[in-house]
Amino acid sequence: MKFKLHIWRQENARAKGHFETYEIDNISDECSFLEMLDQLNEKLVGDKIAHPVCFDNDCREGICGMCGLYINGRPHGNDDGVTTCQLHMRHFNDGDEIWIEPWRAKAFPIIRDLVVDRTAFDKIIQAGGYISATTGGVPDANNILVPKHKADQAMDAAACIGCGACVAACKNASAMLFVGAKVSHLTLLPQGKPEAQDRVYKMVCKMDELGFGSCTNTYACEAECPKEIKRQNIARLNRHWLGSLLSRDRRE
C-alpha cells in the first residue's frame, strides 16, 4: 500500500509548527499505524531526508496510554475503541492521504512534532487520585463486601488509560471524562469512600488550575475514548463535586 502523509512538524513548544508531506509505499495492510511511522522514520534517516518524526509510544498493546495522535480529524484514527497502536493500515485505502497531528490542548503543550506533555494528568492524580485507607493483605480485602454492580462500574471506570483522547476530542479541551473515571473507580468502592469528598474537590480544583476547559455535554469524549469510558462517570463526578462543596460550606 502507498500513502501520502501530511505530518505536523514542530521543533519545540515555542517554535512555529507546520505540516510536511511525505510519501511512503510498500506498507502491508497488516501493519499497525505506529509500525508504518517506524518505516517512515527509517526512510527519513536512511535517505537523509529529514530528522525522524517524534511520536509517543511504549507498550504498543493498547494498555499504557502513551500513543496519542490526531489522525484525519479523529483522536487515535478512524476506528472505534482502539488506541493509535491498535489501528492498522487495513482501515485505510491504498493511495489515501493521511493528516497526522498532535493533541491540541492548552494543558498539553507540544514538546516536539507529535509529542505532547501530558504530565497535567499526573498532577490531577497526585492531587487526590488515590486512597490512604489500609486494607491489609489480600484475604482481608476480600472480606469487604462489594455489590457486583458497583464492582462492575468501578472496573469499567478503572479501564481508563489516561491517553488524553477525551481532551483532544473536546472542543473545550475538558478533562471531565478522565477525572470522572478516576473519581468513579475509587469512590464506588468502600475503601475510597472516607476521602471521597476531599478527593473530588482537590482533583477538580487541580484540573481547573491546569487550564482544562469546561464540559458542555457534547459527549465527543465518550465517542472517541479508546476504552469506551461512559459519560455517566461525568454525571457522577458532578454529583460528588456538588456534595463536596456543600460539605465544605457546612464545615466552614
Q: Going residue by residue through the chain, which has 252 residues, state the pLDDT in tens, using 9 for 90 and above.
A: 999 999 999 999 899 999 999 999 999 999 999 999 999 999 999 999 999 999 999 999 999 999 999 999 999 999 999 999 999 999 999 999 999 999 999 999 999 999 999 999 999 999 999 888 776 776 666 778 889 999 999 999 999 999 999 999 999 999 999 999 999 999 998 888 888 999 999 999 999 999 999 999 999 999 999 999 999 999 999 999 999 998 876 665
Phi, psi values for residue 98, rounded to 5° = -125, 130
Do 122 and 233 share a domain, yes or no? yes
Shortest CA distance to 37 belongs to which of 52, 50, 48? 52
Quote the number of domains for the chain.
2
The residues with which 6 forms a beta bridge, in sequence order, are 21, 99
Q: What is the pLDDT of residue 144?
A: 80
Domain limit, last residue, from 112, 145, 162: 112
Same domain, 103 and 125: no
Instruction: Give CA–CA dist 248/199, Å, rounded.
Output: 12
Domain boundary among 112, 128, 147: 112
Asked if residue 62 and residue 155 are part of one domain, the reply reads: no
pLDDT of residue 11: 94
Confidence (pTM):
0.92
Q: Are residues 8 and 66 in the same domain?
A: yes
CA gap 87, 173 in Å, rounded: 23
Same domain, 34 and 153: no
Q: What is the DSSP letter of 63?
A: S
φ/ψ of 32, rounded to 5, equals -75, 165
pLDDT at 176: 97
Residue at which a domain ends, from 112, 128, 161: 112
- 92 & 161 share domain: no
Q: Residue 178 is placed in which grid cell?
A: 478522565
Domain range enclosing 162: 118-251
Residues 154 and 223 in one domain: yes
**55 shares a domain with 29:** yes
237 and 134, same domain (yes or no): yes
3-state secondary structure of 29: coil
Say if residue 54 is in the same domain as residue 130: no
Judgement on whether residues 156 and 135 belong to the same structural domain of the protein: yes
Neighbours of 75 (CB within 10 A): 27
- Which residues, 6 or more positions from 194, have their beta carbon under 8 angstroms from its beta carbon? 133
pLDDT at 142: 72
In a shared domain, residues 126 and 224: yes
Picking from 196, 195, 224, 214, the residue whose alpha carbon sits closest to that of residue 79 is 224
Q: Residue 111 burial (CB < 10 Å; 0-12/13-18/19+)?
A: middle
